[in-house]
């Protein structure tokens, strides 16, 4: 069996996902997983895990799904094994972070686990006042670009905007670590980060930030952690 992850836009109404599943079944595919990434304005963005008896059927499956009224296929990617439940992945990453006993190991783990969990092309953990990122994973952009992005994202938030800045060639998600005064960024070509993913990154940053505070700050200096994200 060949396994694919298919990201689709579909009408947020009863029966829409069933119609998509029917088209997948028409090409002998098996819908084995559904992850809702975003909902709003009458549409939903879902990631579907689909198994096909032959990888050559993928184009036919995409054609069939695209014929469902109101449905658009955003992205299709082949995977070597069926993806695990993202909620379980998130819990395992959280456990991995809180088990770190050294601040540098914690930040390194944050970058590597986030890049893995979000299938990002790159990740960076940045101190806005340092000359270079503290952690980079994958093909991160030049340091000057990363720092300019962080500065622009914070300026956008401070001016009352939502902080979601378009980046080329990759879409970028980011979150502040308030106690540590750090920022984590993720970049991914061709597949935008959606609302659920951005919220998950924010939660991950808060967990890492709390653990960082436990490792380096006296209890009396710790403050409630608020994370900004985009």
* Measured CA distances, 124 to 29, 107, 173 (Å): 38, 10, 11
Least confident of 19-28, 69-78, 150-159, 206-215: 150-159
Are both 142 and 173 inside the same structural domain? Answer: yes
Compute the average pLDDT of residues 30-51. Answer: 92
Q: Is residue 229 part of a domain?
A: no
Question: DSSP character for 177?
Answer: E
- Residue 211's nearest CA partner among 115, 99, 82 is 99
Q: What is the pLDDT of residue 168?
A: 39
DSSP-derived 3-state class of residue 152: helix
Q: What is the pLDDT of residue 167?
A: 40
* Measured CA distances, 190 to 7, 77, 129, 185, 194 (Å): 12, 11, 30, 16, 12
Q: What is the pLDDT of residue 61?
A: 97
Among 68-82, 131-145, 153-167, the range with the most confident prediction by mean pLDDT is 131-145
Compute the average pLDDT of residues 41-55. Answer: 94
Cα separation, 226 vs 205, in Å, equals 10
Residue length, the chain?
230
Are both 67 and 142 inside the same structural domain? Answer: no
Confidence of residue 162 (pLDDT cuts 50, 70, 90): very low
Query: How far apart, in Å, do the first and last CA atoms of the chain sit?
Result: 37
Compute the average pLDDT of residues 48-57. Answer: 95
Q: Is residue 38 part of a domain?
A: yes
Compute the average pLDDT of residues 157-183. Answer: 70
- Total domains, the chain: 2
For residues 107 and 1, the model is more confident at 107
Give yes or no for residue 177 having a pLDDT over 80. Answer: yes
Q: Which residue has the tokens 């960082």?
A: 212
Q: Is residue 190 part of a domain?
A: yes
Across the chain, mean pLDDT equals 88
pTM of the model: 0.77
Q: Is residue 230 part of a domain?
A: no
Which tens digit of pLDDT belongs to each residue from 184-227?
999 998 888 988 899 999 999 999 999 999 998 766 555 555 56
Q: What is the CATH number of the domain that holds 54?
A: 3.30.70.260
Are both 109 and 132 inside the same structural domain? Answer: yes
| C-beta pairs of 150-158 under 8 Å, 24+ apart in sequence | 150/126, 150/174, 150/183, 150/185, 153/183, 153/230, 154/128, 154/228, 156/230, 157/228, 157/230
Q: Which residues contact 158 (CB under 8 A, 6 or more apart)?
A: none
Are 154 and 226 spatial neighbours (Cβ–Cβ below 8 Å)?
no
Task: Give the domain range for residue 62.
Answer: 2-79
% pLDDT > 90, the chain: 71
Which tens digit of pLDDT belongs to each residue from 59-95?
999 999 999 999 999 999 998 876 667 778 889 999 9
Q: Which residues contact 37 (CB under 8 A, 6 or more apart)?
A: 7, 45, 46, 47, 194, 195, 196, 197
């Amino acid at each position: 069996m060949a396994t694919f992850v298919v990201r689709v836009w579909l009408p947020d109404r009863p029966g829409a996902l069933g119609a998509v599943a029917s088209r997948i079944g028409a090409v002998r595919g098996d819908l084995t997983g559904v992850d809702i990434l975003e909902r709003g304005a009458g549409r939903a963005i879902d990631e579907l895990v689909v198994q096909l008896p032959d990888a050559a059927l993928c184009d036919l499956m995409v054609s069939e799904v695209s014929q469902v009224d109101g449905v658009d296929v955003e992205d299709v990617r082949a995977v070597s094994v069926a993806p695990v439940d993202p909620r379980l992945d998130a819990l395992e990453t959280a456990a991995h972070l809180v088990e770190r006993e050294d601040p540098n190991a914690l930040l390194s783990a944050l970058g590597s686990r986030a890049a893995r969990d979000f299938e990002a092309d790159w990740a960076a953990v940045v101190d806005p006042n340092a000359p270079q990122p503290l952690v980079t994973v994958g093909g991160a952009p030049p340091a000057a670009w990363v720092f300019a992005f962080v500065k622009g994202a914070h300026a956008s938030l401070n001016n009352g905007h939502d902080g979601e800045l378009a980046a080329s060639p990759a879409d970028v998600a980011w979150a502040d670590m308030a106690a540590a005064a750090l920022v984590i960024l993720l970049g991914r070509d061709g597949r935008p980060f959606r609302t659920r993913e951005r919220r998950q990154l924010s939660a991950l940053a808060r967990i890492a930030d709390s653990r960082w505070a436990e490792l380096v700050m006296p209890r009396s200096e710790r403050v409630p952690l608020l994370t900004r994200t985009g």
